[in-house]
Every structure is written in structure tokens, then in C-alpha cells.
Amino acid sequence: MDKATSDHQQDQQWLENIKSGNGKALEALYRHYRDDFLAFAQRYGASQEDLLDVYQDAIIVLFENVKSGKITELSSSVKTYLFSIGKYKLIDRLRQKGRNMSTEDIGQLEGLGENVMEEQLELTHRQQQLRRAINILGGQCKTLLLLFYYRRYSIEAIRQEMDYKNDNVVKAHKSRCMKSLRKIIDDLDIL
């Protein structure tokens, strides 16, 4: 049996044990990935307390999704799933604490999926298409749309972050970017 098969079986066993209410399995899972998560996340300047809170939140999300039946099997590893949840919770926590995250910080955290983990979460066809279209769009449009729609930055915050002249310029650029994105998606639908 190869390592990938063994890891997949271990992940499935964890999911089954959590679903059945085995608290020791959840505790073992927590301990198994905690140090890896803390090591990865500490480079983003959050306190150890915040990192532990974020990791615990990711564990809770996994637990709730397994117990509710929302997740019965993952197309990625449990580690991928936890780290993906954790990275977005970390971004939100840093923003809530007033830390202005640079575009580079967000890009590094978003790149975690490609750089640290080998697998992706299962995405619907439409989500895959949107991701592909945004990557094709690229550049400032990609950054602006991710900040506005995904990170929920205000127009003013985007203006400051991306050094636009005024809020109206941000709005006009966002509108042009959305038009370009829609065209890319339409073109992808044709292919």
C-alpha cells in the first residue's frame, strides 16, 4: 500500500470516528496537524494566541461539517481542508484586528493551497470556471475583485490599498473588471 492510499484511509477513518462521536479521534486529529499549522501561519505576524484560535475554529468547522453530514468524504486530504479553512479565518482575523493586509500578504495566503498543499478542495463546475476566469483576468483586476467580493473590502479600503486616486476611479475600474470577467466567463462557456 502506498503512502497516498494509507493517508486517504487514515483521513477516512478520522471522518468516520468524528461522525460516530469519538472525541479521542477529534483530539488526535487536532494534535496531529496543530504544529504544522502553527509553523506555516506564524510567518504572517499573528500572535500565537490568534493562531491557536484560528486553528481551533478550523477544527470546529470540520467537526460541525462532518457531524451534520455535509462532509462524508473529502476530495482532498483532511490537512488540506483544515489549512484551507484556517488560512481564510486567519485573513479575516487579521483584518478584524485592524491589520491592513497588503495585496502581497493576501496573495501569499491564497497561494498556500498551491504552494504548501498538493490537493484542492472539491469545487463545483461553476466555481472552477470562475476561478479559471479570474486567473485569466489576472493583474489589478484580479486583485481588486478578490479584495471587494471575496475579502469584502470597502471601496475606500481598496483605494488606499491599491493606491487609486479616488473612490470613483475604484468604482469605474471595478465595473470594467467585472465586464471583462463576464466576457471571459461567456467565452469559457462557448469552449
pLDDT confidence of residue 167: 92
pLDDT confidence of residue 169: 94
pLDDT higher than 50, residue 190: yes
Confidence of residue 125 (pLDDT cuts 50, 70, 90): low
HSE value, Cβ hemisphere, 13 Å, CA-based, for 95? 19
* Domains of the chain from N-terminus onward: 1-122 (1.10.1740.10), 123-191 (1.10.10.10)
Q: What percent of the chain has pLDDT over 90?
A: 10
Mean pLDDT value across the chain:
77
- Tens of pLDDT, residue by residue over 80-121, are 888 888 887 887 777 776 655 444 444 544 444 443 333 334
DSSP 8-state symbol, 44: G
pLDDT confidence of residue 117: 37
Q: Are 142 and 131 in contact (CB under 8 A)?
A: no
The most confident of the ranges 38-42, 94-98, 122-126 is: 38-42
In the predicted model, what is the mean pLDDT of residues 136-140? 84
Cα–Cα distance measured from residue 175 to residue 145, given in angstroms and rounded to the nearest whole number: 10
In the predicted model, what is the mean pLDDT of residues 59-76? 80
pLDDT confidence of residue 111: 47
Number of CB atoms found within 10 A of residue 47's CB: 11
- Structure-block grid coordinates of residue 178: 467585472
Q: Are 19 and 11 in contact (CB under 8 A)?
A: no
In the predicted model, what is the mean pLDDT of residues 6-31? 85
Confidence of residue 2 (pLDDT cuts 50, 70, 90): low
Name the residue with higher pLDDT: 9 or 94: 9
Backbone angles phi, psi at 54, to 5 degrees: -65, -45
